[in-house]
Each structure stands twice: as structure tokens, then as C-alpha cells.
Amino acid sequence: MGPHRYRIAGDVLHWWPCGEVTVEHALQVCQLFDAQRAAYGYVLWLVNAAQSLPVGPGTRRIYANWMATSHCKLVISVFNAPIPASTMATLVLRAVQLRTDADMQMTNVGSEAEALAILAAAREAIKAS
């Protein structure tokens, strides 16, 4: 997908953004979210943000609209995030949470192992509820 990479492993969408995520890329990611939601009823999103840049306003709108209208649990576990990209992602998520009843959470950690552990715990909590 452009310069970015993704992989689906069961119920986890692995995403490696490499540079700018355009509106077109965000729309494709949201299509992957829809497929995961259809298959599992929730979305677990693992993001290696080492090469991520803060997203532009159009891309933010695409992600925010999906979050606000998807009506499914979204768990985002990010690792290696640069501060500007992490800050922008947190602001978008919080803005959606303030305006809607969207069921989502995001964590920023230092390693992939930590990020996967968070998603595993979220999966168990979702299945237990």
C-alpha cells in the first residue's frame, strides 16, 4: 500500500507506515478495518510507528470518521512512535472520544512484544465480555 506495509495475522492488523499516510492510504486501511470487524467483531491494530509522520487533516478526517461510525471495539497498540506522530494520533483519538461513544483505546509502548501483550490482553477481555 504505497510505501507502507501491512500484514494480517488472525485478528491482528499489523501496520508499518513509512512516511506520509495519504487520504488514499487511510481509505485502504479503513477497508482493512472493515474486513477485520466483519470477521471478528472488533479491530486489533498493531502499529510500528518508527517511520511514521504526523498525518495531515484529510487523513485525520478519514480515520476519525471511521472511528466515529464503525460501532466496534478498536484497540490500537503502537510501538516505536516518534513524539509528533504519537501526539497527533492521541489528539485524533481523544477528539473522537469526546464527540462520540466510540469504544476504542490506544497505548504507546517501546517494543513490539509489549504491544502484542496489550493486544492479547484486550482480546481476552473482549471475549470475556
- pLDDT tier at 2, thresholds 50, 70, 90: confident
- Its sign, for the CA torsion 32, 34, 40, 45, is positive
> 53-103 pLDDT, tens per residue?
888 999 999 999 999 999 999 999 999 999 988 888 888 889 888 888 889
Distance CA 114, CA 28 (A): 26
Q: Which pLDDT belongs to residue 111?
A: 97
CATH of region 5-128: 3.30.750
Give which of 129, 72, 58 is closest to 105, Cα–Cα.
72
Distance CA 67, CA 92 (A): 10
Where along the chain do its domains lie? 5-128
What is the SS3 assignment for 60? helix
